Structure 1
Amino acid sequence: MGFGVREFELSLMHRMRDLNPERVEEALGDMGASRAELRAAHARWTRMLHSPRPPKGPRRLLGPPSYAGTTSMGSLTCDVTRWALPSWPGLEFEVLTGPGGEVWNQWFVRPAGPRTFSFDELVPWGCVVGDVGASFPGAVHLEGQAPHHWAVDLTHEGATYRARFVYGLCQRIDGP
């Protein structure tokens, strides 16, 4: 059995379950997938990443990307590759790789660039890290508490809130 888009989505959701188990359960129902299938996809993905011969990037697993190009980061140029995934319409999963082919970052982005949201529009699975930064000038980016987690502190009506992300996709907003 091949590892394709469905299995990749499930492996991403496994980590998202850390912060938003209810939304993941809803998505599993929408996909007709079980928790056992979610765990199996994650276990298989982990085994592939740590095998002596890991797959040569997502392109081999996900098929042709919706976008492939390069971008400069300081004095280095990295490859940018993105895939549209059915569970997250309007967003794409982006992988940045360095000159030696090593993965520098992987997360969801809005392909046309960040969108501006009001505070009430910041909903789980509806915005990405770049959107929050564009919507709330002065937002402070923080590392998350686990691999592929990210946080952004933002101020709304004088109160500080923390937007929590997994793979760059908003999972929840914590606040006062």
Structure 2
Amino acid sequence: MRFGVREFELALMHRMRDLNPGRVEEALRDMGASRAEVRAAHAHWTRLAHAPRAPKGAAALRMALGPAPHRGSRPAGSLTCDVLRWPLPSWPGLMYEALLGPGGELWNQWFVRPSGPAPSDLAPWTCVVADLAAMPGAVQLEGPAPHHWTVDFPSGGRTHRARFVYGLLQRLDEGITSDP
């Protein structure tokens, strides 16, 4: 099985299905993909992650997505990290970003908004963590699983919780009162 952009998107959707199954099903219909394809893509990506001779980190992303059309750098404390970004067809206007440490280790991977204003509404698959994290009173929390993030933020006198997978909004829980 070849592992390219389509398969990578399906592997991402496998994890997103935990929090937003309806949106994932809609995307699968739009792509003409089956649940079996999602499972196969996820299983293939997982096997690659554990195979001794398979590419790891940024090399695995390059294998699936090709050369990054955007390369840059970003300070992280006293270090400078490399930044790689790829557009993905299922998420227009956003980029999939890999942050690499000084030795080339993959430190983070998630969706980002490369430019332009944040959306005015908090619709799933349109907002990224940075859209909410900059709000006054917003608090970032660890998510309950790998590649999950949570941002609590005040609005209308209540605290709301935004749940993200790979940095992409999946679900908004309004008026929460307990910890994640």
Fold conserved (TM > 0.5)?
A: yes
Matches within 5 A, 1:1-176: 1-55=1-55, 56-112=59-115, 115-118=117-120, 121-134=121-134, 136-176=135-175
User: 1:72 & 1:82 partners in 2: Cα distance?
Assistant: 16
Query: What value does the CA root-mean-square deviation take over the aligned residues?
Result: 1.2
Give the SS at the match of 1:57: helix
Instruction: Report how many residues are paired.
Output: 172
Preserved contact between residue 117 and residue 132 of structure 1 (Cα < 8 Å) = no
Preserved contact between residue 119 and residue 126 of structure 2 (Cα < 8 Å) = no
Runs of 4+ in 1 over 4 A off after TM superposition: none
Deviation at 1:164, TM superposition (A): 0.2
Preserved contact between residue 153 and residue 161 of structure 1 (Cα < 8 Å) = yes
Deviation at 1:101, TM superposition (A): 1.8
Preserved contact between residue 109 and residue 130 of structure 1 (Cα < 8 Å) = yes
User: 1:19 & 1:167 partners in 2: Cα distance?
Assistant: 12
Deviation string for 1:25-53 (max 9, x for gaps)? Answer: 00000000000000000000000011102
Mind listing any 5+ residue stretches in structure 1 that lack a counterpart? none
TM-score by length of 2: 0.92
User: 2:7 & 2:119 partners in 1: Cα distance?
Assistant: 31
User: 1:159 & 1:139 partners in 2: Cα distance?
Assistant: 12
Preserved contact between residue 149 and residue 164 of structure 2 (Cα < 8 Å) = yes
Identity fraction in percent = 69
Quick check: 56-65 or 7-16, which moved more? 56-65
User: 1:67 & 1:112 partners in 2: Cα distance?
Assistant: 13
Deviation at 1:54, TM superposition (A): 2.4
Preserved contact between residue 140 and residue 152 of structure 1 (Cα < 8 Å) = yes
User: 1:117 & 1:65 partners in 2: Cα distance?
Assistant: 25
User: 2:118 & 2:6 partners in 1: Cα distance?
Assistant: 30
